[in-house]
A = this chain, B = another copy of it.
Amino acid sequence: MYTKIIEPRVSETDGVGHIYNTTLPIWLEAARNPIFKLFTPDDSFQNWKMIILNINVDYVSQVYFGKEAIVYTWVKKIGTSSLELYEEIHQNGSLCARCKAIYVNYNMEEQKSKPIPKSIREALEKHLYGK
């Protein structure tokens, strides 16, 4: 799996004193940078490939300011052109959130989805859930 350590920001807290729920999709996305780089090695937006189709986030327990959080990203399923991720946010040894995210490999110039190339598929397979 991919692992990303996040140091919570004060700007990411809310009036109740926790990390706000809309912050978690931002952290989850931040942890997908190595996957984006597989599809767009030069990090250019002209050449961007990964278009999101769905996110499904379970808020399990509160995340707090002042302690590092960890985002774990697994590959759940590699379709012809789609990619399903399973992600968890942990803090202090506890599971705080779970997410399923579905992306498609999309060619923006041609405006259509494209098969995920074999080399990327092999790189992703190293991060399969349950492996």
Residues of A at the B interface (CB closer than 8 Å) are 7, 9-11, 13-18, 20-23, 25-26, 29-30, 33, 36-37, 42-45, 48, 51-59, 64-67, 108
A interface: dominant SS: mixed
CB distance from A14 to the nearest CB of B (A): 5
Which B residue sits closest to A27, measured CB to CB?
A: B9
Expressed in whole angstroms, the Cα–Cα distance for A43 and B54 within the complex equals 27
Copies of the protein in its oligomer: 4
Q: Which residues of B contact A52 (CB under 8 A)?
A: 21, 59
Closest to A51 in B: B59
Question: What are 22 sample pairs from A and B whose C-beta atoms fall under 8 A apart?
Answer: A7-B30, A9-B29, A10-B14, A10-B36, A11-B14, A13-B14, A14-B14, A15-B15, A15-B48, A15-B65, A16-B45, A17-B44, A21-B25, A22-B22, A22-B26, A43-B64, A43-B67, A45-B65, A53-B58, A55-B55, A55-B56, A56-B57
Provide the residues of chain B in CB contact with A44, threshold 8 Å: 17
Residues of chain B within 8 A of A53, CB atoms compared: 58-59
